[in-house]
Amino acid sequence: MQHFTKIADVSNLSALIERAFECKRSPHAWPSLGRGRTLGMVFFNPSLRTRVSTHRAATLLGMDVISMTVGDETWQLETRDGVEMDGPAAEHIREAAAVLGRYVDVLGVRSFAHLRDRQEDYAETILERFRACAGVPIVSLESATRHPLQSLADVLTIEQFKRRSRPRVVLTWAPHPKALPQAVPNSFAEWARAMDYELVIAHPPGYELDPQFTEGATISYDQDEALDGAEFVYAKNWSSYRDYGKILSQDRSWQITPEKMARTSDGYFLHCLPIRRNMIASDAVLDSPRSLVIEQAANRIPAAQAVLRTILETR
């Protein structure tokens, strides 16, 4: 594997999942694989899970880790081409990416959608600039349109707890006070389809995701109907793709409650975290034994370890 920015970068998905379960069972089995090599992590946005789990995964493999927050611990970066740099950015992403590529062996990048211009966000300008200029493998730590390390951990969690080979998995929109990117639901839909899960995506009208991610999934505007018989309920808020970046609904009746979970087939609750309690899901759901959110977050370590192992063994 050259880069890890989307599922298309993975040549053998079942082998990657098997490798992640090996890492989960025996996290200390490859202490020297990354010795003498360094993971750099560049954050344009905040992070708890991605930052710590990827750092931990790298150190389990013997790698050194350098992480930085852009504009706080580095110069502010200009990402547009051809501009007169007379603004606050002191360095262009072209030089920054090329220089970091000389300092580290693998580079992780987190850069969220700005939700102003759909074409610009879906062009993945920052991630693509790192891919083009760094000259080392790039690992997405969540980009404008995808969060593949999260999706791999989501799939590991479903594989760990599923009761039959093709579970019914419901990805449901839930209310949130702020406009959020579509990266997590896009990516989850992409991975769930690759896993051939029975995928249902429930949301109010106007929240349709980019069809390139959802083709083949059942789309429902009726959350109750979608939840009937669900074995996994993945709640997530996202802003509109069609009316790009807009909040079209804050309908609290889409919050996941014990009554909603009672419609499922003894279903498990998933969320990528961070989660706003009593907005997306009620306390009673998050604190119930059917909530897998902590195990899901724990699976971020074997997910990242499997990806880094694959990249290190490829080079």
The one segment of 32-40, 41-49, 99-107, 306-314 that binds ligand CP by CB under 6 A: 41-49
Of residues 30 and 43, the one with the C-beta less far from ligand CP: 43
Contact between 69 and ligand CP by CB under 6 A: the answer reads no
Cβ atoms of 44 and 70 within 8 Å: the answer is yes
User: Quick one: which of 9, 105, 142, 190 contacts ligand CP (CB under 6 A)?
Assistant: 142
User: Quick one: which of 16, 30, 50, 203 contacts ligand CP (CB under 6 A)?
Assistant: 50
Q: Which residues contact 244 (CB under 8 A, 6 or more apart)?
A: 115, 117, 118
**CA–CA gap between residue 52 and residue 276 (Å, rounded):** 20
**CA–CA gap between residue 64 and residue 107 (Å, rounded):** 12
The two structure tokens encoding residue 177: 């006070």
The one segment of 129-137, 185-193, 268-276, 286-294 that binds ligand CP by CB under 6 A: 268-276
Contact between 155 and ligand CP by CB under 6 A: the answer reads no
Residue carrying the six token digits 């907005």: 279
Contact between 157 and ligand CP by CB under 6 A: the answer reads no
Of residues 177 and 211, the one with the C-beta less far from ligand CP: 177
**CA–CA gap between residue 233 and residue 261 (Å, rounded):** 8
CA neighbours within 13 Å on the CB side: how many for 287? 5
Minimal distance, residue 162 CB to ligand CP, in Å: 21
Contact between 278 and ligand CP by CB under 6 A: the answer reads no
> Where on the chain is the footprint of ligand CP (CB under 6 A)?
47-50, 142, 150, 272-274
